[in-house]
Structures are given as C-alpha cells and as structure tokens.
Structure 1
Amino acid sequence: MAEYRARPYLLATDTLVAAHHHQLPFVDLFIVKLFAAPCKFEDPLAVVDPSGTSSVVCLSLQDKPPATSRGFRTIAPNIRTELTKIASTTTEWLSKVSQVKSIATALKLLSEQAALLSSLNSWLMSLDLVQVQTEYHGPEPLSLSFMRLFHLVLKIIILGTLDASPDTRAELQTENNRFQNLANNVEERVRAYRTRKITATSGITD
C-alpha cells in the first residue's frame, strides 16, 4: 500500500501529496481484520508430571489447561485483546488518512501515528514480560508467535502510511525483514505441527 500510495502522504512537513490510485482496494484493512479475527488454533503444551517426565499435549480453547500452563493462558487472552484494540484504532486512523486534505490535518494524524507506534511498543514489552514471568518452557506457543506476526503487520502498515521520509522508509525495510524472518519460522512450525497431528490421528485409527 505504501509503494502504490493508495492514500495521501506527506513528502515533507509542508508538502501533502494526493493519493495516486483512488480506486485501489485497501488491502491493508483486509489484512488487519484477518489477523484480528478469532483463532481457535491449538497449542502443543509441554507438561511435566510429578516424576519429572516431560510430554507434549495439544489443547483446544475448550480444554482446561494443566496448572503449569495456566499462568500463561490466563494472561495471554488479555494480551491479545489489547492488541485487537490497537488494531481497531489503527483501522480508524487509516480511514482518517484516506480523507486527509490539508497539511494541518496530516500533521495531527502524524501525532496519532506516533501514539499508535508507542502503543505497539508497550504491547510488545508487556508480551515479553508475561513470557518471562510465566516461565514458559520450550518454544513459545504458536498462538503467541501469531500475535507477534500481528504486531509486526500493524507496525508495518502504520509506518508505511502518511510519512514518506527517508528515515521512515529505512525503518520500514528493517521491519519488513523482521516480519519475513518470523513468518518463515512460523511457517516451519505450523508445517511440523500439522505433521504431528496427522501422525497422531493415523496412530489412533490404525
């Protein structure tokens, strides 16, 4: 969306450039809504029994998690709710940017952009803190990795809107690279997850 300039943008603090493609669909809005939709993905959980033996189980949202995982699963929904709220505010902000017609309004929206980015940074720090406090063992849950992807999606969309300065372009490239690396990692883990599920199902039916 940033490349095709589907929305007005600031070339400098005193230059507002109109959107290049008024009829281009806002794909970024669709992506935000896609990530914000409820997901019932199951996370494999590492559970340690009294004998010290570690095993992996898969729990759906309807299952009651073991005590060792309850801390993370009690707090994580609140973390996702906060991210969804930021996403909702982001879509409202994007709509405002689409209608901007004056430099004064654009500069005001730049302040709102900074506030959104600050909210995302605070959210990420909270997520990392939750992960440390719950002392979750093993790879982080896939649902948490998806939230990290959602966070990066929002950050990239916000960075790529309105502000077209060279510094912002450079930061956007850095975030794009970070997103690609995380997406590749999640893709590999999802593939492994599906393989385990298929193997487990085959074992039951045999």
Structure 2
Amino acid sequence: MKPATDPLAQLTEIRAIMERSSRFLSLSGLSGVGAGVVALAGTGLGHWYLQTHYGDQGFLRLVEGSTAERQAAYPFLLGLAIGMIGLALLVAFYFTHRRATQEGRTLWDAPARRLLLSLALPLVAGGLFCTGLYIRGAASFVVPGLLLFYGLALLNASKYTLDEIRLLGLTQMALGLVAILLPGWGLIFFALGFGLGHIGYGLLMYNRYERAPRPTL
C-alpha cells in the first residue's frame, strides 16, 4: 500500500513550479556586486576628471557653471556612462549565465524576456529624460533622476525575479529623492546608489540563494 501524499508538500511543489515558470530566479547576486564595483570605479574616474578640469569642487562647479562648461564635459561624461553600462551588462551576463547553467536553466526564457523588457522601458525613458535635463541646464537633477528612474525600473521588474530587487528599487528611489535636496553631492549619491547599493543587495542575494551551506559538524 502506497503512503499517503502530504498535501502541504504537493502545494509547495506546485508553487515552486509556478514561480519557475513566471519568474526569472537565476539572477546572480554576484552580478550586483560586479555592477557596484563598476559604478564605484566609474564614479572615481568621473571625480578625477571633474577635479582635474574644474578644481576641488568639480561636480558642484559643473552643476552651477556655464553652458559652455557643461558642453565641454558632455562627451567625456556620456562616454563614461556608456562604458559603465556596457561593462556592468557584461558582468551581469557572465555571472547570471553561469548560475543559470549550473541550475540547468536557459538564460533566454519567457520570464527573462519579460524581466528585460520591464527593465528596459523605464531605463531608456529615464536616460533620455536625464540627457535632456543636462543639455537644458538642469544638471543638478541628473543624478536624482537617474536614481529615481532606475528605482522605478527595478520596481517594475521585481515581479519577474527575486524579491530583493523590489527593496533595491525602493532604496534607489529614496536616495534619488534625498539627492534632490543636496545638488552638490551628486557623485556621492551616485556611488551610494549604483555602487554600494548594488554591492550590498548583491551580497544579500548571493548569501541567501547561491552560497553553499556550511557542513554541520
């Protein structure tokens, strides 16, 4: 006679199957750590450039300076942003692809496509909006705008992946709102949000979902 099946175990298994089919759960925490390191390195490079060309108060002078000064810095800042985004995407792809392969999952399934689309739409809109702010002379709102739009993108995408992404999005939005009040601290808030924020939540996700449990004695 076969033993009775545990209904609670059946429900747990059904829920796990539904989550795997609707959410991309192979997102690696190391992707966040790598993206955070890239952001901190980019922030340091940007600070060096502004300090070299505009003095110790380089970022504040850029924010409050003339249109000619902002236009002179625009090619470097745009190139730096594109380089940071490209490198962060490569790091994210490497670690997430590695985790998906280890779990026997494909990196380009339906949940992954929904995740990327829900991320991309607010990010593209936010990038274009913040570029317009810079060109129009409202450079002090660029970093707050980037943080706010990125936070909204993470909130929009969180329903397709790990729950920690929602918390990271709320953190980015909170930093963006505070950054509006402190325009001269833009680089610091950029480092906090895109750098330390990614590293902190990346380590949290890695320890929760990827780190092998220590053997008990």
TM-score (norm 2): 0.40
Higher relative CO (Cα under 8 Å, sequence separation at least 6) belongs to 2
The TM-score with structure 1 as length reference comes to: 0.42
Larger % of helix: which?
Answer: 2
